[in-house]
């Protein structure tokens, strides 16, 4: 007798851009009824997140048997497999690796933006490190230029669009760099993608 479909717990927060990526994927894949969001606090020594993911990072997906899956890209691949869908990631061949590479480039924008925010958050009262901020800003600017030259299809929801949408959304929210004026094609892409994919607006951070 079948035990029924497996359910999952997503350890994240509503403000995490990488958690937002997974929440968007959950909606797109039709798995909303099987994934429960459980708030995680990466700065809390007692949060079970640190036992689920030794790095203490979110998002982290926990299965019924306690298996933990991380990071966001791996979680999305796992959920696509659970859903039996190749909508988000091509199943094989050069297109698969092209999509995964571009998705990682989008993640790199978010990574660098977070590190810029953390410069002041984890060193309160100290002057900002101009060299560190310039180093991270350079990553963002170069990645944005690559996407400006070749934006994704705004009418297609896949792992690249989800990651890029969340990266640009994070830049708009936290504002570590101003990007819109110098990247009009990307700004137009984001507006069109947000109109195409309702999960983009539904997964915004509450104060965004």
pLDDT tops 90 at residue 207: no
Q: For 178-193, what is the mean pLDDT?
A: 98
pTM (global) more than 0.85? yes
pLDDT tops 60 at residue 22: yes
pLDDT tops 70 at residue 57: yes
pLDDT for residue 123: 87
pLDDT tops 70 at residue 21: yes
Distance, CA of 172 to CA of 142 (rounded, Å): 17
Instruction: Output b/e per residue, 21-50; b: 16+ Cβ within 10 A.
Output: bbbbbbbbbebeeebebeebebeeeebebb
**Residues with Cβ < 8 Å from 71, sequence gap 6 or more?**
18, 57, 59
pLDDT tops 50 at residue 2: no
pLDDT for residue 3: 62
**Residues with Cβ < 8 Å from 119, sequence gap 6 or more?**
128, 129, 132, 133
Q: How confident is the model at residue 1 (pLDDT cuts 50, 70, 90)?
A: very low
Distance, CA of 177 to CA of 53 (rounded, Å): 30
| Phi and psi angles of residue 136, each rounded to the nearest 5 degrees, phi first | -70, -40
Percent of the chain with pLDDT over 70: 98
Kindly report, residue by residue over 121-158, the tens digit of the pLDDT.
Answer: 888 888 989 999 999 999 999 999 999 999 999 999 99
pLDDT for residue 208: 53
Cα torsion 186, 187, 193, 198 to 10°: value is 140
Q: For 86-104, what is the mean pLDDT?
A: 97
Q: CB of 162 within 8 A of CB of 24?
A: yes
90 token code pair: 């091509």
Kindly report, residue by residue over 25-46, the tens digit of the pLDDT.
Answer: 999 999 999 999 999 999 999 9
pLDDT tops 70 at residue 110: yes
When the pLDDT of each residue in the chain is averaged and rounded to a whole number, the result is 95
Angle at 82 between CA 38 and CA 15, to 5 degrees: 30
């Amino acid at each position: 007798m079948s035990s029924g479909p497996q359910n999952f717990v997503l350890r994240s927060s509503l403000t995490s851009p990488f958690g937002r990526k997974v929440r968007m994927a959950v909606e797109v894949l039709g798995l909303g009824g099987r994934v429960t969001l459980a708030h995680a606090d990466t700065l809390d020594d007692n949060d079970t997140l640190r036992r689920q993911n030794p790095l203490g990072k979110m998002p982290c997906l926990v299965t019924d048997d306690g298996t933990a899956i991380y990071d966001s890209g791996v979680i999305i691949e796992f959920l696509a497999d659970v859903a039996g869908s190749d909508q988000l990631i091509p199943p094989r061949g050069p297109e698969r690796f092209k999509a995964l590479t571009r998705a990682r480039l989008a993640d790199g924008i978010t990574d660098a933006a977070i590190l810029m925010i953390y410069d002041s958050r984890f060193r309160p009262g100290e002057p900002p490190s101009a060299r560190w901020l310039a180093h991270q800003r350079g990553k963002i600017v170069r990645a944005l230029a690559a996407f400006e030259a070749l934006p994704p299809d705004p009418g297609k929801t896949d792992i690249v669009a989800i990651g890029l949408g969340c990266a640009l959304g994070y830049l708009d929210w936290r504002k570590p760099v101003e990007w819109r004026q110098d990247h009009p094609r990307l700004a137009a892409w984001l507006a069109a993608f947000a109109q195409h994919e309702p999960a983009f607006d539904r997964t915004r951070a509450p104060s965004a």
